[in-house]
Amino acid sequence: MTQAKTAGAPVALPDEQMQVRVVWLYFMEGRTQGEIADALSTNRLRVNKIIAEARRSGLVTITLNSKLTSCIELEQTLVAEFSLSRAIIVPTPSDPDLIPVLLGQATADYIAQLLSNGKLSGIGVGWGATLREMVRHMPSMRRPDICVNSVMGGLTHGIEINTFDIASDLARHLNAECAYLAAPIYAGSPESKTAIVTQDVFQAAFRQIASNDLVVLSIGDMTERSLLMRYGLPQDVTIDELVATGACGDVLAQFIDRNGTPIDHPLNLRAIAPPLEALRKIPNVVFASGGINKVEAIAAVLLSGLGTVLVCDEDTARAALSVAARARTPAELS
């Protein structure tokens, strides 16, 4: 029932006073919007609008007192600068040996979120210490509808970070199907690579790789810390030779220069893996890699535009962002 105003009736609060009262009760006292509406004799819609406007106008500012704040800010910058769908940045530990562990855990958490949505049917994996840790931190699930597959050839001698082991162990965690690209990382020559991949069994494997919803890869650098440099490089190719041709790192055992472009070297034609351009057709390509030794390689991958998600540690990602910014031409920056 509407009541007529009388001389003794309370007058409405001025807008500014109402705003301050609402935001104080909401942010400082933790009241719900419904409680605030009752306390100030208004409605929840008005309270909601006042809170939203207070954030936009700067009447309320929020400061996160957390060491993760700088990581979150960096994530947003990376997404904006390189058209990523997501960046996941973790604080850099004092012990560099912990970087693969932390990045592996962060990658596992991200993939578990995707799996919980039930939208994945194929997951392709590469190799490396970070992906090994990803598998170790992956929660057990029952997803027989998913096929986990290796997206590149593997080492011919056993090592737990081999692509075959990573694919099979991830499939075991997920109770999923598993498929291998059962070949060495490199063929003896571009001609022998062509002879291998044109066989029916390999054509089927490459069709499976192309149908993946998600591919998870690491990024290699050109130092002796690189697993590919230590274990996978053919004896007839040297690191110095690749560097002289412009290589600063590798993706899928194919070497790229500082602009993210494949170098002109026969070794790239010997890699038993999809060509790098094929990654652009896969909906979600996650690069999980970190460590200061990989700064230039990660910057090159960011510039290449091959990935949709980067998982990295803060110090490395910040340095890679700086390197990538310097590498861009004025035309690209405008």
Q: What is the pLDDT of residues 137-195, one digit of tens each?
A: 999 999 999 999 999 998 766 565 678 889 999 999 999 999 988 889 999 999 999 99
CB of 216 within 8 A of CB of 125?
Answer: yes
* pLDDT tens sequence across 286-332: 999 999 999 999 999 999 999 999 999 999 999 999 999 998 755 45
Residue 62 resides in a domain: no
Give the separation between CA 44 and CA 310, rounded to whole angstroms.
40
Q: How far is CA 83 from CA 79, 99, 218, 304, 307, in A?
A: 5, 25, 19, 11, 9
Give the model's pLDDT for residue 54: 86
Identify the residue with better confidence: 35 or 60. Answer: 35
- Say if residue 155 is in the same domain as residue 293: yes
Q: What is the pLDDT of residue 246?
A: 97
Give residue-wise pLDDT tens across range 5-38.
444 444 444 577 788 889 889 988 888 999 999 8
Residue range of the domain that includes 265: 67-328
Residue 273's contacts (CB-CB under 8 Å, 6 or more residues apart) are: 151, 152, 153, 181, 185, 252, 253, 254
pLDDT score, position 13: 43
pLDDT at res. 3: 38
Q: Give the whole-angstrom CA distance, residue 169 versus residue 135.
A: 7
Q: In 10 A of CB 40, how many CB atoms?
A: 17
Asked, for residue 3, whether it belongs to a domain, the answer is: no
Task: Looking at the structure, tell me whether residues 154 and 274 fall in a common domain.
Answer: yes
92 and 34 belong to one structural domain: no
| Claim to verify: residue 91 and residue 30 sit in the same structural domain | no
Residues 30 and 159 placed together within one structural domain of the fold: no
Domain count, the chain: 2
DSSP, res 177: E
What pLDDT is recorded for position 60? Answer: 80
Give the CATH number for residue 122: 3.40.50.1360
Together in a domain, 207 and 306: yes
pLDDT (0 to 100) of residue 14? 57
Q: Assign residue 37 the CATH number of its domain.
A: 1.10.10.10
The pLDDT of 46-66, averaged and rounded, is: 80
Q: pLDDT tens for residues 248-265?
A: 999 999 999 999 999 999
Q: Are residues 149 and 293 in the same domain?
A: yes
Kindly report, residue by residue over 65-93, the tens digit of the pLDDT. Answer: 666 788 899 999 999 999 999 999 999 99
- Rounded to the nearest 5 percent, the helix, strand and coil shares of the chain are 50, 15, 40
